[in-house]
């Protein structure tokens, strides 16, 4: 299993059954321990109160205060338990969503990488090969003496193509299972060969088909309109005779499928009188390998790229056409936000507790709204800009939060808490200036609490006329 399918390392994922069972067992153990401590404390206070029921009034009042404190502790413990349950559940929910979103981002990156640097149709420039005899000398030992031996051997040499006029038409199929896209290439190329040698007239025109094809059809090589046959069936070496000073014209044609790129490779050859026209009958298409075309024409439905090299140009990298995709930017932002979401929820819920009277029902509903908004953001961010998605979700969050207040003043207080504790912090983790936005959210929270409690400028009770 690749790292991309495993998700973020070390994070729990509730879609994995083993982790879900382990999480359930840990929650059960913690819950039993907490219940045991609360019950033990209550029994201890009850026993001491019963044993001292006939004692001094001061002692009775003291343990009465303990009983009252214990009842308040139980009420507070209900809220604490609910918040802890919501925090833990929210953490596992957010970690699962973070893993899912991470996997989705990695799948997008792999798809783009495959289309840019994966399989391709690579057409190599043909070579004109000839065989010549060259002398060479080697030493050997005869009767204990070192002797120089002069012999000849056959050596392959190559002529430079005098001219190359190439046209390739490319169509794209994107509905192919397991592939980002498949190219269909219709290739026509005219090559001119000039014999500049004085004593050689036997040559081989070697024109291999494109590398990486899945289907090759109608492959043929013609010399001045006459089809030529290879030396051996299945090979792509075509013998021909050419007298010194004469020229020969060859045409290579084929239809091939493969991809999802088409490139032309000159290898170590020098390109002279070279012209390559690649017509991509799809959009968006762009030129590959950074070799800028001399001409680019587009009519909306197709794009024509033309490379022109007049005299002795060396091109080391293959160049051609690939399917351009929008760049993937800002990866990892949503997973980071989801991992910090429980802390943001705690920040927001504490602001609400310190600003409004909160019941258990309201806390549970507020938590559901908060994590539902984050869930919506996770999936809307796949379809649109994340900042725009959260802006739209924020209006829904503010509208629902208005119902937390019993009156207009309390509702406005809930709105202020939501802006300072939920909307701005989440938005701050989505924009580049995260530190500044989070600082403004923290400052707004502190100012609100100071105004609410220290200076009593904002009273939640309605004015009495």
Task: Please report, for the chain, the start and end positions of each structural domain, with discontinuous segments joined by +.
Answer: 1-104, 121-323, 329-465
Please compute the mean of the pLDDT values over residues 382-391 and round it to a whole number: 88
**Residue 45 to residue 39: CA distance in whole angstroms:** 10
Tokens of 176: 């192919």
The larger pLDDT score, comparing residue 69 to residue 376, is at 376
**How much is the pLDDT for 137?**
80
pLDDT confidence of 51, banded at 50, 70, 90?
low
- How much is the pLDDT for 276? 95
**Are the C-beta atoms of residues 132 and 157 closer than 8 Å to each other?**
yes
- Output the CA angle 278-279-283, nearest 5 degrees: 125
For residue 1, pLDDT beyond 50: no
**Phi, psi dihedrals of residue 263, rounded to the nearest 5°:** -135, 155
For 61, 395, 421, 449, the CA distances from 405, given in Å and listed in that order, are 38, 17, 16, 17
Q: Provide the mean pLDDT of the chain.
A: 80
Distance spanning both ends of the chain, measured CA to CA = 71
Q: Give whichever of 41-55, 133-147, 204-218 has the largest mean pLDDT.
A: 204-218
More confident residue, 68 or 152: 152
121-323 under CATH 3.30.110, yes or no: no
Of 197-206, 235-244, 414-423, 456-465, the least confident:
456-465
Least confident range of 114-128, 155-169, 367-381: 114-128
14: Cβ–Cβ under 8 A, 6 or more apart, which residues? 20, 23, 92, 93, 95, 96
- 3-class secondary-structure state, position 269: coil
pTM of the model: 0.56
Establish whether the linkage from the previous residue to 93 is cis, with ω within 30° of 0. no
- pLDDT higher at 250 or 356: 250
pLDDT at 59 over 50: no
pLDDT at position 40 over 80: no
Question: Cα–Cα–Cα angle for 113, 263, 110, nearest 5°?
Answer: 5
Distances 90 to 47, 395, 405 between C-alpha atoms, Å: 39, 22, 24
């Amino acid at each position: 299993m690749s790292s991309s399918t495993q998700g973020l390392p070390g994070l729990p994922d509730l879609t994995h059954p083993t982790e879900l069972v382990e999480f359930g067992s840990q929650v059960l153990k913690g819950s039993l321990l907490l219940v045991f401590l609360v019950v033990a404390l209550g029994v201890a206070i009850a026993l001491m109160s019963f044993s001292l029921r006939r004692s001094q009034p001061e002692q009775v009042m003291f343990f009465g205060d303990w009983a009252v404190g214990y009842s308040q502790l139980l009420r507070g413990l209900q809220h604490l338990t609910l918040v802890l349950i919501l925090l833990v559940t929210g953490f596992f929910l957010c970690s699962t969503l973070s893993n899912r979103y991470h996997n989705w981002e990695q799948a997008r990156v792999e798809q783009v990488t495959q289309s840019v640097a994966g399989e391709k149709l690579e057409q190599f420039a043909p070579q004109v090969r000839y065989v010549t005899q060259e002398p060479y000398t080697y030493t050997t030992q005869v009767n204990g003496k070192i002797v120089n031996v002069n012999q000849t051997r056959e050596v392959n040499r190559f002529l430079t193509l005098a001219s190359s006029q190439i046209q390739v038409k490319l169509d794209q199929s994107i509905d192919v299972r397991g592939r980002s896209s498949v190219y269909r290439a219709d290739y026509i190329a005219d090559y001119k060969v000039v014999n500049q040698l004085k004593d050689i007239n036997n040559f081989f025109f070697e024109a291999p088909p494109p590398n990486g094809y899945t289907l090759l059809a109608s492959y043929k090589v013609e010399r001045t309109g006459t089809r030529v046959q290879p030396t051996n069936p299945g090979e792509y070496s075509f013998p021909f005779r050419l007298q010194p000073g004469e020229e020969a014209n060859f045409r290579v044609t084929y239809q091939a499928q493969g991809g999802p790129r088409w490139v032309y490779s000159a290898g170590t050859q020098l390109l002279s009188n070279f012209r390559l026209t690649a017509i991509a009958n799809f959009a968006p298409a762009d030129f590959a390998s950074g070799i800028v075309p001399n001409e680019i024409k587009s009519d909306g439905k197709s794009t024509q790229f033309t490379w022109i090299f007049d005299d002795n140009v060396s091109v080391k990298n293959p160049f051609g056409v690939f399917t351009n995709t929008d760049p993937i930017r800002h990866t990892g932002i949503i997973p980071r936000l989801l991992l910090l979401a429980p802390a943001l929820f705690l920040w927001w819920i504490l602001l609400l507790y310190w600003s409004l009277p909160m019941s258990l029902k309201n806390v549970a509903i507020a938590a559901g709204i908060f994590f539902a908004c984050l869930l919506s953001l996770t999936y809307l961010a796949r379809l649109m800009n994340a900042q725009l998605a959260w802006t739209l979700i924020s209006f829904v969050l503010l509208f629902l939060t208005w119902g937390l207040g019993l009156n207009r003043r309390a509702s406005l207080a809930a709105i202020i808490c939501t802006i300072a504790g939920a909307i701005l912090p989440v938005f701050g983790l989505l924009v580049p200036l995260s530190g500044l936005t989070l600082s403004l959210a923290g400052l707004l929270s502190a100012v609100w609490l100071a105004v609410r409690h220290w200076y009593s400028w904002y009273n939640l009770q309605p004015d009495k006329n």
